[in-house]
Chains A and B, each alone.
Chain A
Amino acid sequence: MKNYWGAAMNRIFEQLAGLGRSGLEIIQAMGRATIMLYRAVFGRSVSHASFLSLLTRQIYSVGVLSLIIITVSGLFIGMVLGLQGYNILVRYGSEQSVGQLVALSLVRELGPVVTALLFAGRAGSALTAEIGLMKATEQLSSLEMIGVDPLKRIIAPRFWAGVISMPLLACIFSMVGIFGGAMVGIDWLGIYQGSFWGNMEQAVDFRSDVVDGLIKSVVFGFVATWIAVFQGYDATPTSEGISRATTRTVVYASLAVLGLDFILTAVMFGEL
């Protein structure tokens, strides 16, 4: 009987230790991520000109190459919003408010959030895989060997490229979406274009809608890129490790974006 109790207690303690271990691991990973970011952003810099050219190349692969998926999804989301909004609003005879509906939902929510999700899938996973493979093939340690800080040369330009590209992509997404909604609403469904744009202008406020959406997209870009570069930098240097890191990037970044979106919305538009 006593033996049985001992075994049960042992198992409970094992469970507790497992919980504690994973808690410690999470906190350690967050600490490593913060130290990495701090050293990448504030560390001893590479020369100004070479940093700019590195940054340009990264903005190209992170931002410019994401343009196609961003504009196409933006166009279709705007068109769907216009169509759905029209179908509901026409019952109440207020179909001229479709512009307002499309613009507010895109500028406040869908623009930043959907762009960040697509960004995490398109650019974040690529960043993680690239950095992870550099680590696996020991390019990072060879850089360190020849006296170049990989945090400054590899991580920093990629991080800044993500932070710069994300708000621009979100703006393009919202704008293309609004034009998609206008195309469906005005040209196809025959809403009078004066009231479409006029209602929109009256409903959307620059400070509380456009700027708040922009702040959201900057925050999402920061978080998604940070997660992506850290997962690559922290990956186990094997092919399996890289694949797991890439998956983690997309999952963590998407969850972080959606969770943060709720908090930011509560702060900006709620009663908080």
Chain B
Amino acid sequence: MRMRTVEISVGAFLLAGIFALVLLALRVSGLSISTEAHSYRLYAEFDNIGSLTKRAKVAMGGVTIGRVVAVELNKKTYMARVVMDIDANVDNIPVDSSAAILTAGLLGEKFVGISIGGANEYLQDDETVDDTQSAIVLEEMIGKFLLGAVNKDDAAKGENF
């Protein structure tokens, strides 16, 4: 094997390896180059966050505008405190906007959806979204539904008598 062929193939091999790593970073892990520097932090407290986890997306009108960085328990209020990083170019979220925990599909992943309020002031870094709506827990809903059905049944019987 001539040295030149060896060198060319080694160069191609190194390039292919680095290319695969870049592809793993960008395509597979969805790493964007500048998330840390250009984002600001918002907090929201929920009664129940269901199965929301770190790295879940924060969406507004279905468009991802940020990520959940941490989920922790507020010991004083016994509420779940969600820490979110929002893209810096979405800097006009009104202060009376509300945050809800939604589910992608019936059994899909949980994410935070933000609905726009009407105020003229905008949320700044380190502020808290006050108006929140908890996750819908399927078991609770089924429980309520069954209870409601039973109550209605009783009421119907009562009318018959």
Which residues from chain A sit less than 8 Å from chain B, CB to CB? 53, 56-57, 59-60, 63-64, 67, 92-94, 103, 107, 165, 167-169, 171-172, 174-176, 178, 197, 200-202, 204-206, 209-210, 214
Contact = CB atoms under 8 A, between A and B. Distances in A.
Contacts of B9: 60, 64
Interface stretch (B27-35, B94-102, B142-150): B27-35
Interface string B1-15: 101001101101110
A168 B28 contact: no
A93 B107 contact: yes
B114 to A, nearest CB: 18
Range of interface residues on chain B?
A: 20 to 34
Main secondary structure of the interface of B (DSSP, over half): helix
A116 B27 CA distance: 24
Q: Which of B3, B18, B28 has the most CB of A within 10 A?
A: B28
Contact of B6 (A60, A176, A201, A202): A60
Given A63-B10, A93-B107, A178 B17 contact: no
A64 B109 CA distance: 41
B20 A175 contact: yes
Contacts of B1: 60
A67 B20 contact: no
A93 B23 CA distance: 29
A174 B24 contact: yes
29 contacts: A59-B10, A59-B14, A60-B1, A64-B13, A67-B13, A67-B16, A92-B107, A94-B107, A165-B13, A167-B17, A168-B20, A168-B21, A169-B17, A171-B17, A171-B20, A172-B20, A175-B23, A175-B24, A178-B28, A200-B28, A201-B27, A202-B30, A202-B55, A202-B57, A202-B109, A204-B29, A206-B31, A210-B21, A210-B29
